[in-house]
Amino acid sequence: MTENVAPAGSQQVAGGVAVGSAGDVLGRPRPVAARRDWWERHAHLVLPMPAVVAVLTMIAFPLLYTVWLSLTDWTLSNPEGATFVGLENYATLFTTDQRFANSVVITFYFTILGVTVQTFCGVTLALLFNRQFWGRGIFRTLAILPMVATPVAIALIFAMMFHPTLGVLNYFVTLIGLPPQTWIHSRQSVIPALVLVDTWQWTPLIMLIVLAGLAALPHDPYEAAEIDGASKLQTLWHITLPLVRPAIVTAVLFRMIDSLKTFDIIFVLTQGGPGGSSDTINLYLFNTAFSYFRMGTASSMVVIFFAIILGISLIAIRVRRGTWA
């Protein structure tokens, strides 16, 4: 008997399927199959690549360029005469620039006071609006309106309300028997007054985030607490607040980052005054860059500010996840 041996490179038909050395069992050339397999294995890396490149271009390049500027003495008055000075700008800020140290203290004072008041008010409003009562939808809509307004417009309105003699706030203060306040025109009261404006605008954000957390809570713990005879205060303290803690921490994280970066309201109302008592990091670096034209020093402030916000964000994320151990 003789066997039919197909020559090299030829194809045979077995069961209606073309096979051979030049292709796979599907009759597809091997290079095409190899390319398709490669795409299927690496699609999760290749497809997001354009978006990753765009993000790196828009974020990484400006950040690296700012870091480079912070290592020079570049000024807008002499843009071509910049020289490399290393860490000299950072050393000056941390050792001899008392105004920068004061701006850091003011920024944290404004942020901590504002976020604390807003968190308390926002959680309280969320617990209130989580209950069923007549007109809840209308009042909830009215409560979030300040968050929609433009910060500059809000600052201009409050500037008139804070006027020592013509402002409406002092009129209400005198109605309850208190003396007129100086509000933003005094070193002692300027930060609390700014916190009042910031709280009025951004408390609804915390309220909405906490409301979303309350809406997602399970009903089983409350039914068990009711069977055990727990009071409403015990239920709130031992069930509601622990379960809604991730939402509260998320809201605090958002507000803390926003409060650290607050610029428009403070700039319109006080421009850092009186006497630099509301001169936050943002205002100081703005004046350093565009009033004194010291771009190298301002860039070093930006890098420090970015490091502060990044550190606080990482701490808040770990708190939210409960991974301190």
Mean pLDDT within 211-229: 88
Mean pLDDT within 36-49: 81
Say yes or no to pLDDT of 18 above 90: no
Q: Which residues pair with 72 in a beta bridge?
A: 84
Pick from 119, 118, 116: which is nearest to 108 by CA? 116
Pick the range with the lowest mean pLDDT from 42-46, 154-158, 243-247, 276-280: 42-46
Task: Please state whether the predicted TM-score (pTM) of the whole model is above 0.95.
Answer: no
62-83 pLDDT, tens per residue? 888 999 999 998 888 777 777 8
Confidence of residue 187 (pLDDT cuts 50, 70, 90): very high
Distances (CA, A) of 56 to 13, 51, 305: 53, 9, 20
Domains, the chain: 88-151+182-321 (1.10.3720.10)
pLDDT of residue 140: 87
Confidence of residue 259 (pLDDT cuts 50, 70, 90): very high
Q: What is the 3-state secondary structure (H, E, C) of the chain?
A: CCCCCCCCCCEEEECCEEEECCECCCCCEHHHHHHHHHHHHHHHHHCCHHHHHHHHHHHHHHHHHHHHHHCECCECCECCCCCECCCHHHHHHHHCCHHHHHHHHHHHHHHHHHHHHHHHHHHHHHHHHCCCCCCHHHHHHHHHHHHHCCHHHHHHHHHHHCCCCCCHHHHHHHHCCCCCCCHHHCCCCHHHHHHHHHHHHHHHHHHHHHHHHHHCCCCHHHHHHHHHCCCHHHHHHHHHHHHCHHHHHHHHHHHHHHHHCCCHHHHHHCCCCCCCCCCCHHHHHHHHHHCCCCHHHHHHHHHHHHHHHHHHHHHHHHHHHCCCC
Say yes or no to pLDDT of 17 above 50: no
Say yes or no to pLDDT of 188 above 70: yes
Say yes or no to pLDDT of 24 above 60: no
Mean pLDDT within 185-213: 94
Confidence of residue 322 (pLDDT cuts 50, 70, 90): low
pLDDT of residue 313: 82
The type of residue at 147 is M
156-165 pLDDT, tens per residue? 999 999 998 8
pLDDT of residue 43: 79
